[in-house]
Structure 1
Amino acid sequence: MFLVANLGTKQPCHSSDPGCPNDGRYQYNTNVVFSSNGTLVDSYRKQNLYFEAAFNTPLEVDRITFDTPFAGKFGIFTCFDILFFDPAVRLLIDSEVKHVVYPTAWMNQLPLLAAIQIQRGFAITFGINFLAANIHHPSLGMTGSGIHAPLKSFWHHDMESPEGHLIIAQVAKNPQGLIGTGNATGKMDPSHSKFLKILAGDPYSEKDAQDVHCDGAPKWNTNAPPTFNSEMMYDNFTLVPVWGKEGYLRVCANGLCCHLLYQRPTLSKELYALGVFDGLHTVHGTYYVQVCALVKCGGLGFETCGQEVTEAAGIFEFHLWGNFSTSYIFPMLLTSGMTLETPDQLGWENDNYFLRKSGLSSGLVTAALYGRLYEKD
């Protein structure tokens, strides 16, 4: 057994160091790694601080991996690091890193960045095992830990009880990836290949969009629904309402266009919307995102789209896609009761990145493609 623990550490410094604090020491948010015989194997100092006045940012980035006799090479980083290229993504350029250990104190922010959402998305995108231990502090909105493999997650999210929870799971030493593997049978189904024809031709052809699910069925009213703006996660999203039992929608902002083909067997008395954001996020951190998101709104008014929601009744089958200009795209698929779902298919087709899902186990809260343009931060 290897043990990873998070703690505060201090490092003395001299007045000759221009960055040395007045009290003569640096303080770091640190992870320490102990091997099975109790040896201190390595330590990692958090690089991307989040309102942590007690801690300093290391002058050089720690890029820490450690080897185990039971599962090969692990990488390690902390909390807010997950949203940045260095060290999180840079560690995984090493193809031998199949697992990440991730201590965090993550304050959930729905509809796109609850703890288990970003943990799961990271595991899927990089095809790794992701072991996430979140501090459990419901009054601060901090909860949600998990052992996430690309194809399956074991997680715990509880905003009621003050008690913590130990998660134990068996995962593969070489995790099987999801991206580019197609659905469970390994073959594209006919509706999906038809959907891809839309992308190959005129991507905005409503007639082709109808043909995907509507051979011989009544045609939809393809009059464009109204576009509106609403704040989601402190960003100004452009959205269109998702009305009716089936349809095709498109919404654009800056250079990013998001598309949605959807069916739902029964209509619930809920408002859903398809939103797009392509820009610099500037609240509680500065970083550039491209997002396509199908979300359940907090009420029936447009201004409620983007609010935090955990319960939903709307069952969807859908294709969601967008012309992203980054390859770092994290799938977010969350259903009622803070339940994680696995996409049926995910990947690139014709310069568009898509997520496809049918057979939801409960009502859809969020289906999103969350892209990061690290170079535009």
Structure 2
Amino acid sequence: MVFICLMAAATKALSGKVNSDVRVMEVRSSTFKAAVYAHDVYIPIAPYVVSRAQALRNMEINLETYRTQVDLARQQVQRLRRAGRFELYGQEEYQFNTDVAYGPDGKFLAKYHKYNLYNEGQFDTPSNPEHAFFDTPFGRVGLATCFDILFREPIVSLVEEFNVTIIAFPTAWMDALPLLPAIGFHSSFARAHGVNLLAANIQLPLFKFDGSGLYAPDGARAFYYSKRMSPKLLVASMDVVRSPQGASSLTITPQQSVKHFFASRSSQLDEVFGVKKARGPIGDHSIADNNSTFESELFNDMYTFQALVGSSGKLQMCQGKLCCYIEYQIDTTTLNSVDEELFAFGAFDGLHTYDGNYYMQNCVLVKCADTKKKKSCGSLTTTASTVFTKISLRGEFQTKYVYPQVILSDDHDQLALTRPEAWTFDGKALETSASFSSTVLNAILLGRDYSRDKYW
């Protein structure tokens, strides 16, 4: 995994597509450039504890690629200087999964030992979480790695306690649809906390490692998702964030009825973001018309679902102390409709215990893998052709940490993100814009209650 952060005066907007897999979103105002490299990383055949000499040989193979990509990135940013040879030194007998940061002059800036390991028996765990960061003219940069993003320490503390505005995030992230695709969840962290997150994932889609991006508080500036093994360098302009600006908390109390919720939507979002509600036919059924719930497994947890019926409607779904609400509209002129593709709206409130223990409260709109089987709702699928013109998704969460994402299925049946202006998030609710029209695969509000995590 290679992370590169570049500084440059940037006055021109980037627009259009680099190729069919890399999307660079148009940016009107930016003050620095950032880059990440989706690396088809060299991984030893047997990832076990090795000698120091072997570890250095493995690192050198990947560092050669790093040097090459720094030179390529330097061609796009005049003020970047390539550092010389990166020296590997020290005689410590611990083996950590480690991030290191160097400045434009090659000077060492910071290092971070990964705290939340994921099936990494070959690495040692630090006794305490480290909060590693360094200052730049375009913001304070904090270091975190992969599985760290699911937990409070150290990444949330970097933002909330140390005023980090840029997260440098090397990762080996396996897509876990529908809940945790790399481009979806990583971009949701940037939105929820109001920071820039620069995610460099390894590019091994054959093993489900896929999805790198440069994510801003209002959406992706550039991302790369491809079924091909080809590595890719991403460069895009980013706006400076002076201090973390997480989404505001426009709340709805449990005492408010669903009818009141949809009828009394605050105009505050309209004023702040210029959002206009999508116009279309009135929903052809109410919550009471579709009260048949079912359970289905998603990410090894049991969710309570309702199937979407008709081209528009409003649904409520509750589990535990969580209640979720959705209003949707579907473009009936598209070839496929909700009758040909099964979508379901669900809720989960509980402790996730598979490959980690962390408490979640989630509201999810998912496309089911099999149109005729409700039990497939929550299973892996990457294709969708139903066009949604409106999604209004909200939850009554017991946590302020809510991570929003909208995942699309593109013309090549690959995952994609919307343009930044396609939807807004206020801390509790996700609202698409009036012009929204996309083949949605999933729309998710993932709530994390860090205080209820359990460590065995």
In structure 2, how many angstroms separate the alpha carbons of the residues matched to 1:97 and 1:172?
Answer: 14
Verify the 8 A CA contact 1:2 1:36 in the aligned structure 2: no
Structure 1 unpaired stretches of 5+: 12-23, 183-195
Residues 154-303 of structure 1 mapped to structure 2, 5 A cutoff: 154-159=222-227, 161-174=228-241, 179-180=247-248, 201-203=256-258, 220=285, 222-266=288-332, 267-268=337-338, 269-300=340-371, 301-303=373-375
In structure 1, how many angstroms separate the alpha carbons of the residues matched to 2:283 and 2:175?
Answer: 42
1:97 aligns to 2:164 (yes or no): yes
Structure 2 unpaired stretches of 5+: 7-35, 44-48, 53-91, 265-276
Verify the 8 A CA contact 2:202 2:210 in the aligned structure 1: yes
Verify the 8 A CA contact 1:178 1:345 in the aligned structure 2: no
**Farther-moved stretch of structure 1 (355-364 vs 281-290):** 355-364
Q: Which residue of 2 aligns with 1:327?
A: 400
Verify the 8 A CA contact 2:283 2:314 in the aligned structure 1: no
Q: Which residue of 1 aligns with 2:131?
A: 63
Q: Residue deviations 1:264-285, cap 9 Å, x none?
A: 1213410000010000001111
When residues 96 and 227 of structure 1 are mapped into structure 2, their CA distance, relative to the original with a 3 A threshold, is same
Which of the numbers 430, 433, 437 marks the counterpart of 1:355?
430
Q: Which residue of 2 aligns with 1:21?
A: none
What is the identity, as a one-letter code, of the residue corresponding to 2:446? Answer: Y
Which of the numbers 440, 446, 451 marks the counterpart of 1:370?
446
Secondary structure in 2 matching 1:26? coil
Shift in Å at residue 198 of structure 1? 11
Paired residue total: 344
Verify the 8 A CA contact 1:326 1:372 in the aligned structure 2: yes
1:76 aligns to 2:149 (yes or no): no
**Farther-moved stretch of structure 1 (272-281 vs 168-177):** 168-177
When residues 355 and 199 of structure 1 are mapped into structure 2, their CA distance, relative to the original with a 3 A threshold, is farther
Secondary structure in 2 matching 1:136? coil
Which of the numbers 96, 99, 105 marks the counterpart of 1:37?
105
When residues 282 and 10 of structure 1 are mapped into structure 2, their CA distance, relative to the original with a 3 A threshold, is farther
Verify the 8 A CA contact 1:248 1:261 in the aligned structure 2: yes
Secondary structure in 1 matching 2:350? strand
In structure 1, how many angstroms separate the alpha carbons of the residues matched to 2:147 and 2:101?
Answer: 19
What is the identity, as a one-letter code, of the residue corresponding to 1:249? Answer: L
What is the identity, as a one-letter code, of the residue corresponding to 1:310? Answer: T
In structure 2, how many angstroms separate the alpha carbons of the residues matched to 1:312 and 1:155?
Answer: 20
Q: Residue deviations 1:55-92, cap 9 Å, x none?
A: 01101211111112x31310110000000000010000
1:135 aligns to 2:202 (yes or no): yes
Q: Residue deviations 1:190-211, cap 9 Å, x none?
A: xxxxxx99988422579959xx
Q: Which residue of 1 aligns with 2:79?
A: none
What is the identity, as a one-letter code, of the residue corresponding to 1:167? Answer: L
Verify the 8 A CA contact 1:127 1:149 in the aligned structure 2: yes
Verify the 8 A CA contact 2:405 2:443 in the aligned structure 1: yes
Shift in Å at residue 262 of structure 1? 1.4
When residues 220 and 199 of structure 1 are mapped into structure 2, their CA distance, relative to the original with a 3 A threshold, is farther
Which of the numbers 140, 155, 160 marks the counterpart of 1:88?
155
Verify the 8 A CA contact 1:178 1:346 in the aligned structure 2: no
Verify the 8 A CA contact 1:220 1:247 in the aligned structure 2: yes
When residues 2 and 254 of structure 1 are mapped into structure 2, their CA distance, relative to the original with a 3 A threshold, is closer
In structure 1, how many angstroms separate the alpha carbons of the residues matched to 2:262 and 2:104?
Answer: 62
Shift in Å at residue 314 of structure 1? 1.9
In structure 1, how many angstroms separate the alpha carbons of the residues matched to 2:155 and 2:205?
Answer: 26
Shift in Å at residue 118 of structure 1? 1.1
When residues 48 and 272 of structure 1 are mapped into structure 2, their CA distance, relative to the original with a 3 A threshold, is same
Q: Which residue of 1 aligns with 2:417?
A: 340
Verify the 8 A CA contact 1:2 1:33 in the aligned structure 2: no
In structure 2, how many angstroms separate the alpha carbons of the residues matched to 1:29 and 1:356?
Answer: 38
In structure 2, how many angstroms separate the alpha carbons of the residues matched to 1:197 and 1:156?
Answer: 36
Secondary structure in 1 matching 2:131? coil
**Farther-moved stretch of structure 1 (218-227 vs 230-239):** 218-227
1:25 aligns to 2:98 (yes or no): no
Shift in Å at residue 152 of structure 1? 3.3
In structure 1, how many angstroms separate the alpha carbons of the residues matched to 2:249 and 2:351?
Answer: 32
Verify the 8 A CA contact 1:233 1:306 in the aligned structure 2: yes
Q: Residue deviations 1:336-365, cap 9 Å, x none?
A: 1311124533225xxxx2111144453111
TM-score scaled by length of structure 2 = 0.69
In structure 2, how many angstroms separate the alpha carbons of the residues matched to 1:217 and 1:2?
Answer: 48
Verify the 8 A CA contact 1:9 1:29 in the aligned structure 2: no
When residues 34 and 243 of structure 1 are mapped into structure 2, their CA distance, relative to the original with a 3 A threshold, is same
Q: Which residue of 1 aligns with 2:71?
A: none
